[in-house]
Structure 1
Amino acid sequence: MKKMKAVVLKEFGAVNNFEFAEVDLPMIKSDEVLIRIMATAFNPLDYQMRQGLREKELMVGSILGVEFSGVVVGAGQDTRGFKVGDEVIACSVQKGSNGSYAEFIALSFHELVHKPKNIDFGTAASIPVSGMTAWLCYNRMNYKTDDHIFINGASGGTGRFLILFLMHYKITNIVVTAGNPESIAMLKGMGILETNIIDYNSPDLEQRILKANQGMEFDHVVDLVGGEISETTARVLKVNGNYVDVTFFGTQTTREILFDKGANILNIAVYAEIDNNKVLKTISELIEAGKITVPKVNVVGNLGVATAVKAHELMESNRTRGQKLVMVND
């Protein structure tokens, strides 16, 4: 049996449970392709799986990683639209033979999208989860002219893609939070007014958010953070407004506020809507056409335990500085 290298999780818990190992190379089914992974992007889902939280139910074996870019190196007899040598991207949650902290993965051709030709593999790996999550947020809000939007945690991967989509469709009534100079500068560079970027460390956070919206509550709020700050996100939403929940980490108080406001709670779970990858295909085409750009990524290192440990520690301590973290294969 041929082997491949991978970063394996020995058991749930701390980052010291990662080890570098040789494991069996995936065998492809008739509708699958074998992909040499060129780069994998780290996602908060990864450390939540590693910790043994509810996301562990999405794991396939002991190799983490849910989004990647790569090159097709083998194809089953029933595959269509992809051939050896094609450059691809995918979100492999619940679908692939293993996670993306590895040299190879087997995946149905239905879950693949051709990589935009105008970006490199590291940048491309950052697209699937953040891009699709942001696209689903945008579409399910059912935005109307002159609606006002608040995004809590806008400087992360999903927040940045959401801003790109909103800007692309000429939606500019946007207020956001950020917590460090780098994130604030990045958001300003994307076109968000400085007066509409609120430091989430402010003691009077709720009042500052509302002031940026001329004292009005918002038609739509997007929670990309969870925890206690989600309570503030809920409070600045208008009655019967849309609460777009990407985290599932709101508190009991958050739920009570939303109930009292009769809010429309839109749960965004990208892995519920990845079949046939229509959303990812649309995003890839927009990028290749130059209609939207992909936010800058931080290449943490090559495939290995040290890279995985560093990335997980940066994500858990909220020190990504608004950049998607990426691991590349030599």
Structure 2
Amino acid sequence: MKAIILNGFGDVSNFSLAEMETPVIKNDEVLIQIKAAAFNPIDYQMRLGLRESRLMRSPVLGREFSGVVLKTGNEVNDFEPGDEVMALAGSRGSNGSYAQLMGLNHKLLAKKPKNISFEQAAAIPSSGVTAWQCLTRMGATKNNSIFINGAAGGVGRFLIKLLKSQGISNIVATAGSEQSITALRDLGLNAAQIINYKDDELEQNILNANAGNKFNFAVDIVGGSIAETAAQVLAVNGTYLDVTFLGTQTTREILFDKGCNILNISGYAYALADNLGWYGNTLNKITALIEQGDIDAPAVNVIGKFSIQTVQQAHVLMEANQIYGKKLVMTIS
């Protein structure tokens, strides 16, 4: 099979096209022909050799995809050849998703929603399961107020959809470009609920959007200094959802002084515990919501076909934060 491999940590020039052996699957695995692969910020963090790179098991990057089952192991009863699937492989597969094929444990798979394309399905897994974990662990009610930092990204947009499907609408979110603001408007947020994080008096503007009150929940999907703002607008004993592990020391100090609850949103927790079924089961729930029309599929930007140039372009755009409310996707076969 053909795959795009990373030859060393550094810039995008380190990608090359290679011929690799067809994965040999184990009894609890399936072999999948990848039809579309989505790009995730973790990809470029791995490329740079940052913290996430320690999880790499293959020189082929890529964590999420959709495709068609070609072959199943002897212990697999929930899938058969021809099934259209999607998966959050993380770093658990035979290789990453910048490839034509992947061998993967069947518990990481879910059936693709029948009413959407492979490209749309490829954009679901990482953002979907992260947003689902946020939703279920926060336990918000219709009376709660929620601030989402970096809401125009994949996780933020998915979380807004899930919250609104539960009737939770008191949401305030940040965005930094007209394209991102438009993406949030398309999700049903009005102008008063969207704050440009580049504006002066950011903290006060966020509070004003909540009638001057501090929030029950703050979801940080950005990290860095703006995570401190998310902590500042949170109420005493409020709940802070850390999706990035990129908050500052000051962020933690603010949260400690307020006696806030901190939820570390980590998909790795399930993989490390070998509770792989959480991934597949969660994705199956999302598939049901999409097929029932309770939420719609993510907006995608199909930036190209399977090639080194497509991968390089995706990494440049992600690293420059030029996604603008659409998941980057590559078609493969």
Same fold by TM (over 0.5)? yes
Partners in 1 of 2:323 and 2:142 — Cα distance?
A: 34
The CA deviation at 1:271 is: 3.0
Instruction: Output one character per residue of 1:110-163: Cα deviation in whole Å (capped at 9) or x when no partner.
Output: 111010110010000000000110111111111133110000011111111100
Partner of 2:282: 279
TM value normalised by structure 1: 0.97
* Letter of the 2:304 counterpart: G
1:175-324 equivalences under 5 Å are 175-273=172-270, 275-276=276-277, 277-324=280-327
What SS does the corresponding residue of 2:227 show, helix, strand or coil? helix
Please, which runs of 5 or more residues in structure 2 have no aligned partner?
Answer: none
Residue pairs, 1:1-330, within 5 angstroms: 4-273=1-270, 275-276=276-277, 277-330=280-333
Return the TM-score normalized by structure 2: 0.96
Report if aligned partners of 2:303, 2:310 keep a CA contact under 8 Å in 1: yes
CA deviation vs aligned residue, 1:38-95 (integer Å, no higher than 9, x gap): 0000001101111111111221210100100000111111111111111000011132
Whether the 8 Å contact between 1:6 and 1:304 is mirrored in structure 2 is no
Is the contact made by 1:168 and 1:292 (CA closer than 8 Å) also made in structure 2?
A: yes
* Count of paired positions: 327
Q: CA contact under 8 A between 1:59 and 1:93: conserved in structure 2? A: no
- Whether the 8 Å CA contact 1:7–1:18 is kept in 2: the answer is yes
In 1: Cα distance, 2:216 partner to 2:294 partner: 27
**Mean Cα displacement is larger for which, 128-137 or 177-186?**
177-186
- Tell me how far 1:273 sits from its aligned partner: 2.9
Partner Cα separation in structure 2 for residue 210 and residue 129 of structure 1 = 30
* Whole-Å separation in 2 of the counterparts to 1:80 and 1:96: 19
Query: What residue identity is the alignment partner of 2:248?
Result: T
Q: Which amino acid aligns with 2:141?
A: K
- In 1: Cα distance, 2:119 partner to 2:254 partner: 41
Code of the residue aligned with 2:221 in structure 1: it is: L
Secondary structure of the structure 2 residue equivalent to 1:273: helix
SS in 1 for 2:78: coil
Aligned mates of 2:104, 2:235 — CA distance in 1: 43
CA-atom RMSD in angstroms: 1.0
3-state SS of the aligned residue for 2:172?
strand
Deviations 1:246-269 (A, max 9, x none): 010001111111111111110111
Conserved? CA contact 2:142–2:169, under 8 Å: no
What SS is found at the alignment partner of 2:20?
A: strand
* Residue identity in the other structure for 1:86: D
Which shifted more, 272-281 or 68-77? Answer: 272-281
The residue type equivalent to 2:50 in the other structure is L
Return 5+ residue gaps in structure 1 as ranges: none
Separation (CA, whole Å) in 1 of partners of 2:188 and 2:266? 27
User: Identity, % of aligned pairs?
Assistant: 54
Distance 1:176 1:270 in 2: 23
